[in-house]
Structures are given as C-alpha cells and as structure tokens.
Amino acid sequence: MLSISSLYAQPFTFKSIGLVKPFRFQIYYGAMGKGAFVQYVGQKGIIPLRIKSRSVDSTERKSGQPDMTTYVWEEVIDGQVTGSYGLVEGLRNLEDIWYLRKKDGKRFSMEYLRQETEEYDGENKYLLHGALLSFNYMNHDRLSIVYPDGVKKVFELPDFDSPSYVRNSYIADYNFDGYDDIAFSIPDAGMGVYQTYSIYLYQPATKRFEKLSESSDSRVKCYGLNNVAIDQHKKLLYSSCRGGARWWKDVYRFESGNKLVWIKSTEAKE
C-alpha cells in the first residue's frame, strides 16, 4: 500500500496523562485546521471544533529541520464554547497536546497514540457547516456528505490515472461569499505535472454543497480547473496548466448563481 505522511493518517488518537481513569479522544482536521471535530472514545456523538489560531515556527528551516505548526481549537456545543484543544504538528509527530475544560479551568495533558501496526486505509472526515464529509485519499472515489437534517448525498470524485497517486483535499472560500467550500485534486492524466480540481461550493440558502460547473468558454487554455489559486482581495480564481511546452493561466470571476466566467488567459512561467 502507498505510504502516506502523518498529516493524512487521521484521525489522530490521544490519551490523557496522569489520571487514574484516563480518557481518549480522536481529532480530525483539514487544511489550516479547518473542518475539525473531536470524538471521545466510547461516545457516539461528535463535537465541532472551531479553529482559533494557527501559527508556523520556521526558525529551524535553515538547518534543514521541518516547520512546526501550532493549532488551537475551541470546542463548541450548542453555540457555546465549552473548552479548547491544542497541539503542535511536526513532519512526522504531534506534541504539546492538551485539552482545557472551560467550566472549571482544568487543563489535561495528552499523549499521541501512534498506530504502528495497521496500514492507513485512506479514510478521512471533515465537519463543515454542520455537515459530515467522508472521503478517501487513495482507495475509492466516493465523497459522502451527511447534512444536519439527516439527508445524505454521495458524489463521485475523479478516478486516478495511476495507482501510485494520492488525492489532496482543501478547505477555502472559493467563490468569496464568506463560507468555506471543499475541494479535491489529483495529478493530471497526462504527465502528472499539475493538479486537476473538483470544487464543491457550500450554498448557505439551501445548506447544501454543489459541484462547481466548469466554464464552457472556448477561449480557455486549460481544460477543467487545474492548480487552482484564489485572490480574496480581487475576488478572482486562477487555473493553470501545461499545454505542450508552455504553461497557461486562465483567470475567472464569479457571477450570480455561482457561474464561473472567463476573463482572460495569459502565458505563465513554470
């Protein structure tokens, strides 16, 4: 089975330190710490986690050491903050893990329980706008979304061109409406030099995710959406790809109804 970095191999399981009756919980989270939730071992329910802060320590980068990323989340139950969680993520390890219970101010130190014996199956989950999203990085192409009202929707993600590829996931506000969306990418079916994207926009009016339709404008240089980048200030979405010996960048804006409108295409540096 393909080896995947520790960031993919979620959930992370943690155990309290120094208690007569220790407790355990699992945390899932996505890019930038978004889409996070916690589930306590022995309990069925899940608790939303709202990212409070994220900071990156790159002071050891010059000496060849990896960056250390610190996350702090707020535990939110019925709209109220009831606690907070924190950890420091390195390249292959998690440390300085803690849970703070708000009602009495008690802070619990936690240890990371690394699963050494079982191979990671590629499954992952996010909690976004109250909806539970389940997907797989490598073994299947289903995106399952269970909404707060119990409705379940299943999408089919693009398949891999090579069994050695791994799917990436992203959480960002792609259409600049103030609500985070979910996106996935896989290497292109040609040389695998860029990433092809599937974006699912959150619709606040219906409280559902819908797949973003690609532009049908014949002037675009890139088929589909590739190496997607966004400019929150200019409210533009960029798609770039390689065509022959050249790299191209398509520039889009959004119109009402989340319609993606082509503005221009330019030759881009590799």
Distances (CA, A) of 121 to 2, 85, 194: 10, 26, 25
The one-letter code for the residue type at 182 is I
Instruction: Assess whether 106 and 166 both reside in one domain.
Output: no
Classify residue 191: in a domain, yes or no.
yes
Q: Where are the beta strands (DSSP E) in 11-161?
A: 12-16, 24-28, 37-40, 47-57, 68-77, 80-89, 94-101, 106-112, 123-128, 131-136, 142-146, 152-156
Q: Which of 50, 81, 112 is the last residue of a domain?
A: 112
Instruction: Assess whether 264 and 164 both reside in one domain.
Output: yes
Instruction: Assess whether 172 and 102 both reside in one domain.
Output: no
Classify residue 31: in a domain, yes or no.
yes
Instruction: Assess whether 172 and 261 both reside in one domain.
Output: yes
Cα separation, 57 vs 69, whole angstroms: 6
Low-confidence stretches of the chain (pLDDT < 70) are 1-9, 116-119, 163-164, 190, 270
| Exposed / middle / buried, residue 222 (Cβ in 10 Å: 0-12, 13-18, 19+) | buried
Instruction: Quote the DSSP letter at residue 222.
Output: S
Classify residue 219: in a domain, yes or no.
yes
Classify residue 144: in a domain, yes or no.
no
Instruction: Assess whether 96 and 181 both reside in one domain.
Output: no
Which pLDDT score, from 0 to 100, does residue 270 have?
58
Classify residue 205: in a domain, yes or no.
yes
Classify residue 105: in a domain, yes or no.
yes
Which pLDDT score, from 0 to 100, does residue 118 have?
63
Residues 6 or more apart whose Cβ sits within 8 Å of residue 206: none
The candidate with the shortest Cα–Cα distance to 113, out of 25, 36, 33, is: 25
Helix, strand, coil shares, percent, the chain, to 5:
0, 50, 45
Instruction: Assess whether 184 and 242 both reside in one domain.
Output: yes
**Prior bond to 11 cis, omega within 30?**
yes
Instruction: Assess whether 164 and 264 both reside in one domain.
Output: yes
Neighbours of 154 (CB within 10 A): 10
Cα separation, 162 vs 267, whole angstroms: 28
Instruction: Assess whether 108 and 163 both reside in one domain.
Output: no
CA 142 to chain centre: 16
The tokens describing 97, both together, are 């893990």
Instruction: Assess whether 98 and 42 both reside in one domain.
Output: yes
The tokens describing 101, both together, are 């219970």
47, 39 Cβ separation under 8 angstroms: yes
126, 30 Cβ separation under 8 angstroms: yes
Instruction: Assess whether 107 and 17 both reside in one domain.
Output: yes
Instruction: Assess whether 23 and 82 both reside in one domain.
Output: yes
The one-letter code for the residue type at 61 is R
Q: Which residue has the tokens 């707020």?
A: 74
Domain containing residue 81: 12-112
Classify residue 252: in a domain, yes or no.
yes
Q: pLDDT tens digits, residue range 170-186?
A: 999 999 999 999 999 99
The one-letter code for the residue type at 230 is I
Instruction: Assess whether 108 and 166 both reside in one domain.
Output: no
Q: Which of 96, 112, 128 is the last residue of a domain?
A: 112
Classify residue 255: in a domain, yes or no.
yes
Global pTM value: 0.90
Cα separation, 182 vs 168, whole angstroms: 11
Provide the domain count of the chain.
2
